């Protein structure tokens, strides 16, 4: 079971996941183990899969074959995604893999711009995120994550996609919320990777370390404390005041 969250930002891309892999005897879950779900391929590609681990391994291998060496950098991003889709469907069909068993998020750069692509978990068909629809969640935790992302968009993202820093904060909060309230099979710690342009003008992918993640987790906790204090203001047990509406 999995939760993936991706956000196309003004100045980069954020992709995050939980860290839980569920074992099964074919009829019911047996145990849970921590595992790596967000991968960096080369220096400028991020991929995260939801579904069967074996299919994720095959998807990653196909992405690496299509995007390694920089051969894609001068191609249209849609053509690149179509090639990955066609290769994956052919590969999965070769072993009669069932439909609806795998989906993925992919971040990469072509023609001096960055792209966030969702490979639908039912059909594997690619869909790029845009300035009008810039976020996505996927996996068993989607029913928890989507409403929370909708709240974040209504409160924080009214004017369009966020900055990269705001995107990291929002993905961290969404993962934290999904991990805390899910009924089972989605567990921490969060894993988050970013794709952004470096000072040399090249795109670079980075997996956030514990220190970087800790900063954003602290921001999430501070935001939740602020909301809790707002409740105290309403009940008159805080010396702060509710701002008057304009």
Cβ atoms of 48 and 39 within 8 Å: the answer is yes
Strands (E), 132-180: 135-139
Q: How many CB atoms lie within 10 A of CB 212?
A: 14
From 1-10, 35-44, 155-164, 237-246, the region with the lowest mean pLDDT: 237-246
Task: List, for residues 150-199, the tens digit of each pLDDT value.
Answer: 999 999 999 999 999 999 999 999 999 999 988 777 787 899 999 999 88
Q: How confident is the model over 79-136, as pLDDT tens digits?
A: 999 999 999 999 999 999 998 889 999 999 987 899 999 999 999 999 999 999 999 9
Is residue 25 packed enough to be buried (19+ CB in 10 Å), middle (13-18) or exposed (0-12)? exposed
CATH topology of domain 3-208: 3.60.20
- pLDDT of 200 reads 84
Element (H, E) at 152: helix 142-156
- The string of pLDDT tens digits covering residues 188-228 is 789 999 999 988 888 999 999 999 999 999 999 999 998 88
More confident residue, 59 or 182: 59
Is the pLDDT confidence value at 18 over 60?
yes
Give yes or no for residue 25 having a pLDDT over 60.
Answer: no
Judge contact between 200 and 178, C-beta under 8 A: no
Using an 8 Å Cβ cutoff, are 228 and 234 in contact? no
Name the DSSP letter for residue 70. Answer: G
Give the predicted TM-score (pTM) of the model.
0.90
pLDDT band at residue 240 under the 50/70/90 scheme: low
Cis peptide before 29 (omega within 30 of 0): no
| Dist. CA 21–CA 18, nearest whole Å | 9
Average pLDDT score over residue span 8-14: 97
Q: How much is the pLDDT for 82?
A: 96
> In the chain, what is the greatest distance between 2 CA atoms, to the nearest angstrom?
67
């Amino acid at each position: 079971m999995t939760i993936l969250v991706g956000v196309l930002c003004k100045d980069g891309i954020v992709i995050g996941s939980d860290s839980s892999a569920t074992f099964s005897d074919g009829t019911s879950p047996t145990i849970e183990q921590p595992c790596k779900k967000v991968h960096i391929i080369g220096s400028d590609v991020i991929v995260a899969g939801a579904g069967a681990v074996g299919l994720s391994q095959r998807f990653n291998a196909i992405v690496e074959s299509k995007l390694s060496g920089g051969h894609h950098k001068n191609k249209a991003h849609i053509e690149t995604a179509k090639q990955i889709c066609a290769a994956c469907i052919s590969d999965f069909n070769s072993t009669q893999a069932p439909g609806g068993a795998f989906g993925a998020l992919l971040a990469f750069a072509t023609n001096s711009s960055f792209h966030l692509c969702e490979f639908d978990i039912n059909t594997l068909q690619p869909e790029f995120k845009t300035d009008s629809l810039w976020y996505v969640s996927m996996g068993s935790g989607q029913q928890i994550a989507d409403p929370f992302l909708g709240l974040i968009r209504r409160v924080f993202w009214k004017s369009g996609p966020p900055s990269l820093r705001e995107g990291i904060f929002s993905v961290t909060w969404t993962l934290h919320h999904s991990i805390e309230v899910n009924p089972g099979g989605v567990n921490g710690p969060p894993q988050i990777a970013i794709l952004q342009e470096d000072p040399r003008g090249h795109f670079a992918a980075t997996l956030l370390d514990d220190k970087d993640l800790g900063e954003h987790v602290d921001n999430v906790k501070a935001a939740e404390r602020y909301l809790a204090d707002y409740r105290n203001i309403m009940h008159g047990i805080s010396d702060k005041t509710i701002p008057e509406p304009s």
